[in-house]
Amino acid sequence: MIDRNSPVTEDELHAYVDGELPAERKEAVAAWLAAHSDEAALVAAWQAQAEAIRARYGGIADEPVPERLTLAQLLRRGRLDGRRWFAYAAAASLAAFLIGGTLGWIAHGAALPTNSSEAITADALEAYKLYVVEVRHPVEVPGSERPHMTQWLTKRLGYPQHIPDLQSIGLKLVGGRLLPGPTGVAAAFYMYEGASGERFTLYSAPATSPATALRYKGGNRFAAFYWVDDKHAYVVSGPANRDQLEKVTKAAWEQIDASRKKS
């Protein structure tokens, strides 16, 4: 039996769009979307795209098979013996599967641009999980070389880098590194560490999403706050303690915003 109160997954959202979601979950997913405006907008985009694809190509699926390609005609002409027919049918089935799957993933990818704020946040969280456990090589450039790091990453990303000083809230700059961004362009990644060893990261990359206020993306162990300003996305990731993460994020946001206004 499906738990009506279980968390909504991305697979369920796709099933919701495709009309394949079990009846027991439709109401729960609809209620969840009503309370999550960002995800609701994304689902609406998927639905609109699915409708556009159906409107343009749906008629092809209903067209009759040309007479010359029907099984009866092919067998009548002696073009297929038993073994050849098996191979032909298998190839046709595989082709249909691949075409359908490819179109589905094209639609999925097009609906969620790889440099949208959601995609950038997902990348930032993955980078956090990867590097936060590193002991000897968590960064490329140490925090002691802040001026060099700022100049280097500003040049690589193509817009000014403002690296917050978070010592006032007990966080030391460990350093930073260059990462491949969601669209193949560069992204900057900075790491901070507290006295008890907890680590937070700041990720910055170009974005296509419009400007946003601070938004939260939660998880069981890790979480992030993100925002977009002037086509640049920023993500602060850390342990899933919302109050603590919000404190770090607001300190970083205030410094970045003040530095941008001065430059």
Task: Note the Cα 200 to chain centre separation in Å.
Answer: 20
CA distances from 236 to 44, 151, 220 (A): 27, 21, 16
Looking at the fold, whether 254 and 164 belong to one and the same domain comes out as yes
The CA distance from 190 to 149, in Å, is 10
Looking at the fold, whether 124 and 226 belong to one and the same domain comes out as yes
Q: Specify whether the CB–CB gap between 153 and 168 falls below 8 A.
A: no
In total, how many domains does the chain have? Answer: 2
Does a structural domain hold residue 179?
yes
pTM of the model: 0.59
Give me the count of residues in the chain.
263
Looking at the fold, whether 82 and 181 belong to one and the same domain comes out as no
Residue 44 pLDDT level (bands cut at 50, 70, 90) = confident
Looking at the fold, whether 162 and 258 belong to one and the same domain comes out as yes
Residue 103 has pLDDT above 50, yes or no: no
Looking at the fold, whether 253 and 157 belong to one and the same domain comes out as yes
Tell which of 66, 91, 111 closes a domain: 111
Does a structural domain hold residue 63?
yes
Residue 227 pLDDT level (bands cut at 50, 70, 90) = very high
Q: Specify whether the CB–CB gap between 219 and 225 falls below 8 A.
A: no
Looking at the fold, whether 154 and 93 belong to one and the same domain comes out as no
Q: Which has the higher per-residue pLDDT, 59 or 153? A: 153
Does a structural domain hold residue 74?
yes
Instruction: Encode pLDDT of 201-220 as tens digits.
Output: 999 999 887 788 889 998 88
Looking at the fold, whether 250 and 140 belong to one and the same domain comes out as yes
Q: Specify whether the CB–CB gap between 186 and 179 falls below 8 A.
A: yes
Looking at the fold, whether 178 and 158 belong to one and the same domain comes out as yes
Tell which of 79, 111, 143 closes a domain: 111
The CA distance from 96 to 94, in Å, is 5
Looking at the fold, whether 174 and 246 belong to one and the same domain comes out as yes
Listed in sequence order, the residues at least 6 apart from 253 whose beta carbon sits closer than 8 Å to its beta carbon are: 214, 227, 234
Q: What b-and-e string marks burial along 59-74, b requiring 16 or more CB atoms within 10 Å of the CB?
A: eeeeeeeeeeeeeeee
Q: 228 phi and psi, to 5 degrees?
A: -125, 135
Query: So what's the pLDDT on residue 163?
Result: 96
Nearest to 193 by CA among 123, 256, 246, 128: 128
Does a structural domain hold residue 1?
no
The CA distance from 237 to 216, in Å, is 10
Looking at the fold, whether 43 and 144 belong to one and the same domain comes out as no
Tell which of 111, 132, 159 closes a domain: 111
Does a structural domain hold residue 186?
yes
3-class SS of residue 168: helix
Looking at the fold, whether 125 and 241 belong to one and the same domain comes out as yes
Looking at the fold, whether 124 and 230 belong to one and the same domain comes out as yes
Query: So what's the pLDDT on residue 193?
Result: 97
Does a structural domain hold residue 2?
no
Within the chain, residue ranges assigned H as helices are 10-18, 23-34, 37-62, 71-76, 82-111, 117-131, 146-157, 242-262
CA distances from 137 to 84, 112, 133, 175, 190 (A): 58, 33, 10, 10, 13
Does a structural domain hold residue 192?
yes
Instruction: Encode pLDDT of 9-28 as tens digits.
Output: 777 787 787 777 787 788 88
CA atoms within 13 A on the CB side of 237: 25
**CATH code, domain carrying 187:** 3.30.200.100
Query: So what's the pLDDT on residue 14?
Result: 77
Does a structural domain hold residue 14?
yes
Listed in sequence order, the residues at least 6 apart from 170 whose beta carbon sits closer than 8 Å to its beta carbon are: 194, 195
Q: Which domain holds residue 30?
A: 10-111
Q: Residue 252 forms beta bridges with which residues?
A: none
